[in-house]
Amino acid sequence: MANGGGPCIAIFSLSTDIHALAIAHELKKRHCQCYLVGTDSLIEAGGLSWSLDPSQGSQLRDLTDEWFSVSDLDLIWWRRTNSPQQRPAGISDEEYEFASRQWLGALNGILFNQFVGVWLSEPGKTTHAENKLVQLQAASKAGLRVPATLVSQEPDVVRDFIGRQDGSVVAKSVRGIRRCIQPVRVMAEQLTPQLVKFAPTMYQEFIPGDRHLRINCFGEAIYPMMYRSKSLDSRDSLPPHELVKLSPDIEAALKETMRLLDIRMAIMDAKLSPDDEFVWLEANPQGQFLYQDGLSDFDLKSRFVDFLIEEAQIGRASCDSNNAVSQIDRVERVRDVD
């Protein structure tokens, strides 16, 4: 880990990701070492060096052309990492595919071999937690009220489910794609067999009301923001957001959901019904949250940076402890030899 000063943090995200750029800027203002690696620009702008020889070190290059040692990092914020590489001009399809695969393999290899700090969150756990079926199961197990849900591409099964939901449901994608597809409310007669059979789709009970919650879960800290909208998606109108309080039971269930998903951060969506029932909808392990600063008078960015620094300090302490244990082991082995 880095010696002295603030913690050493690397952010892996798209090279134009506003969240990554804004948080990196704030971390540097707080005297943290922060490196931003553009996960979509590795072919053109990336830098990587790894060797089995410890004296050679293991290094990556960030978007400012600064090299850093992976083993010095206290924390990795694994934010946006699945987008295709920007394609340099003049290379063939085969060359582009080859370079993309080489970068993916080499980057994962150097991180999994050399990084010993805190992941936010660990890649495999993030992928697991992104699955909406997994999320719903975890939230239900944690005691949260979730909508009646069906995932299917069987017309008869879907038709029967919609009939039990008073003839209309909310349809949404099971897995997100780069081009955002917003949830829509549909009636039974709008879904033809051809459309239903095209792919498995998530159909959910429609929750009435206009009070939506965007719940920012940063470790043990929970910041619920409420907004009013008749739309199913706040991005349609970007209404004002207000920080609200949730009951202790709901907060405890949200934390239990995080524990079951084995992640340390998530941006969750929920809704309050007309009779004030809290209904949990979904979680995004790396969801958008900074826009809420501009829609409210609450400084969410500073809270998130506080959280990053606290997590990084845990990573540094853990590494120091492991190093101390390793040194003791080495001393014991020398004594055994003597």
> What string of pLDDT tens digits covers the 338 residues of the chain?
444 568 999 999 999 999 999 999 999 999 999 999 999 999 999 999 999 988 888 899 999 999 999 999 999 999 999 899 999 999 999 999 999 999 999 999 999 999 999 999 999 999 999 999 999 999 999 999 999 999 999 999 999 999 999 888 998 888 766 555 667 877 666 777 877 888 899 999 999 999 999 999 999 999 999 999 988 765 667 899 999 999 999 999 999 999 999 999 999 999 999 999 999 999 999 999 999 999 999 999 999 999 999 999 987 776 665 554 444 343 344 345 44
Decide if 46 contacts 37 (C-beta within 8 A): yes
Q: Could you give the 3-state DSSP secondary structure of residue 199?
A: coil
Distance CA 314, CA 308 (A): 10
Which domains does the chain show, CATH number per domain? 1-121+301-338 (3.40.50), 122-144+209-284 (3.30.470.20), 148-206 (3.30.1490)
The answer for residues whose C-beta is within 8 angstroms of residue 59's C-beta and 6 or more apart is 47, 48, 49, 50, 67, 68, 69, 70
Positions of E strands within the chain: 8-13, 33-38, 47-49, 59-61, 67-69, 75-78, 118-120, 149-152, 168-172, 184-187, 201-204, 211-218, 221-228, 242-243, 265-272, 278-284
Q: Angle CA(282)–CA(304)–CA(129) in degrees, nearest 5?
A: 30
Region at 167 (left for phi over 0; alpha for psi -120 to 50; beta for the rest): left
Residues 207 and 279 sit within 8 Å (Cβ to Cβ): yes
Cα gap 305→299, rounded to integer Å: 11
In the numeric block, which tokens belong to residue 114?
Answer: 């050399």
Contact 50, 115 (CB under 8 A): no
Alpha-carbon torsion (83, 172, 211, 133), positive or negative = negative
| Beta-ladder partners of 60 | 48, 68
Reported residue count of the chain is 338
Global pTM reads 0.88
Nearest CA among 270, 210, 266 for reference residue 246: 270
